[in-house]
């Protein structure tokens, strides 16, 4: 059974708990297990106290790992397809469609169970708009006892889901490889789902690192010692990691390439670092030069002017700024009107004066 509830990005952990209690707990009671991702809301102290108070087990899934919460990922993808089909010109109307799409989803037969979610939950399908034309043709028939029918439907759904699960596992295992990493070892991290560091992501390396393994999470995930400038969770699947093999001395670069270099205050300690997103503007020259820095996670109206010498070891920011400036100058050159269009020529002005 799926429930589609609109939410906002500005929701806090308290708003999430209230939404869960208002939409789900009041209908089904308190769950035994809650599967969620590594969102900061689900890692907050309030969420931890809420689950501990009501004896709810927490299960955290890794990013881009559909094996842990495959049902949620599949429902989300199906909902996106349904919304994309119904929304035509105005994308702001998606919220009022959720109720109708929820009914359509819960009354549709699924390939894994060959039953609809309503048939699994309450032993029968609810009356949908597509069934209104055949209601008059339905005749009253005797049904088996409710408990027996419920058991038959549940057994049937479980058997089909188990069959589909083993089929998916069989095809997934054909490409899997069992690799284990030791705590304290060095690994490389796949660049596929990480935030981009510059304006040309196609030219970025496929792996970043190397990073130290600080903890093994269960059997398929590892916690890495990431720099503070990496604004992401530090737990990754083993599929996203690669073993570190030391390079020969003649292949080691003289200066390591750094991504998202920290912006440090000259008067502050080296540990007090903030994450810069990009340069918005420049002013001044020489020792008085300043850069307008847009900080990661803050809006542009909160950008601050910083001395140019505070950008220590940040060639990527400067290169990105110069590229944007060149594009702006080229765009102005192509879009600028000709001088003949801006003002009449001298001969035209004389002719106009003689005519008057």
- Report pLDDT digits (tens) over 91-134: 677 777 787 778 877 777 777 667 777 777 776 666 554 444 44
- When mean pLDDT is compared over 80-89, 270-279, 330-339, the highest value belongs to 80-89
Cα–Cα distance between 307 and 286 in angstroms, integer?
10
Ranking 41-45, 151-155, 241-245, 297-301 by mean pLDDT, the lowest is 151-155
Mean pLDDT of the 227-240 span: 76
Mean pLDDT of the 334-347 span: 50
Q: For residue 129, how far is the Cα from the chain centroid? A: 35
Residue 307 has pLDDT above 60, yes or no: yes
Cα–Cα distance between 70 and 275 in angstroms, integer?
33
Residue 78 backbone dihedrals phi, psi, to 5 degrees: -65, -40
Q: How confident is the model at residue 196 (pLDDT cuts 50, 70, 90)?
A: low
Three-state DSSP state, 85: helix
Residue 221 backbone dihedrals phi, psi, to 5 degrees: -135, 155
Residue 294 backbone dihedrals phi, psi, to 5 degrees: -95, 115
Mean pLDDT of the 246-250 span: 72
Q: Tell me which architecture the domain covering 1-105 has in CATH.
A: 2-Layer Sandwich (3.30)
Residue 48 has pLDDT above 50, yes or no: yes
Mean pLDDT of the 151-160 span: 63
The angle, 0 to 180 degrees and rounded to 10, between the axes of the packed helices 70-86 and 98-107 is: 120
Check whether the bond before 210 is cis (ω within 30° of 0): yes
Tokens representing residue 120 in the block: 């699994």
CB-based contacts of 276, cutoff 8 Å, min separation 6 = 260, 263, 293, 294, 295, 296, 311, 314, 317
Tokens representing residue 20 in the block: 């869960």
Q: How far separated are the first and last CA of the chain, in Å rounded?
A: 83
Q: What's the whole-number average pLDDT of the chain?
A: 70
Ranking 281-285, 291-295, 314-318 by mean pLDDT, the lowest is 314-318
Percentages helix, strand, coil for the chain, rounded to the nearest 5?
45, 15, 40
Q: How many helices (H) and strands (E) does the chain have?
A: 10, 12
Tokens representing residue 204 in the block: 């970025």
Is 240 within 8 Å of 189 (Cβ atoms)?
A: yes
What's the pLDDT score for residue 229? 67
Cα–Cα distance between 292 and 276 in angstroms, integer?
10
Segment holding 118, helix H or strand E: helix 117-122
Q: Tell me which architecture the domain covering 186-251 has in CATH.
A: Roll (2.30)
Class of domain 263-335: mainly beta
Cα–Cα distance between 176 and 237 in angstroms, integer?
12
């Amino acid at each position: 059974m799926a429930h589609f509830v609109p939410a906002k990005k500005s929701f806090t952990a308290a708003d999430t708990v209230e939404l869960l209690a208002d939409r789900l707990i009041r209908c089904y009671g308190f769950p035994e297990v809650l599967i969620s991702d590594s969102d900061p809301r689900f890692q907050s102290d309030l969420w931890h106290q809420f689950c501990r108070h009501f004896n709810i087990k927490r299960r955290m899934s890794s990013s881009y790992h559909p094996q842990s919460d495959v049902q949620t990922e599949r429902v989300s993808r199906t909902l996106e397809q349904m919304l994309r089909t119904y929304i035509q010109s105005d994308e702001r109307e998606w919220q009022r469609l959720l109720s109708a799409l929820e009914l359509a989803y819960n009354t549709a037969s699924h390939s894994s169970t060959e039953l609809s979610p309503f048939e699994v939950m309450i032993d029968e399908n609810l009356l949908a708009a597509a069934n209104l034309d055949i209601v008059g043709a339905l005749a009253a028939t005797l049904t088996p006892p409710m408990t027996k029918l419920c058991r038959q439907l549940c057994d049937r759904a479980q058997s089909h889901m188990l069959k589909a699960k083993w089929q998916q596992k069989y095809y997934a295992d054909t490409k899997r490889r069992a690799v284990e990493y030791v705590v304290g070892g060095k690994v490389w991290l796949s660049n596929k789902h990480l935030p981009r560091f510059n304006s040309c992501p196609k030219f970025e390396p496929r792996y970043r690192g190397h990073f130290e393994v600080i903890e093994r999470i269960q059997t398929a995930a590892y916690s890495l010692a990431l720099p503070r400038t990496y604004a992401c969770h530090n737990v990754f699947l083993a599929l996203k990691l690669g073993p570190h093999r030391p390079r020969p001395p003649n292949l080691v670069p003289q200066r390591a390439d750094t991504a998202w270099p920290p912006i440090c205050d000259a008067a502050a300690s080296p540990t007090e670092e903030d994450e810069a997103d990009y340069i918005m503007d420049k002013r001044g020259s020489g020792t008085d030069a300043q850069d307008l820095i847009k900080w990661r996670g803050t809006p542009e109206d909160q950008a601050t002017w910083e001395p140019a010498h505070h950008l220590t070891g940040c060639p990527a920011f400067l290169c990105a700024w110069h590229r944007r400036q060149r594009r702006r100058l080229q765009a102005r050159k192509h879009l600028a009107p000709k001088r003949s269009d801006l003002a009449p020529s001298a001969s035209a002005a004389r002719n106009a004066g003689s005519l008057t």
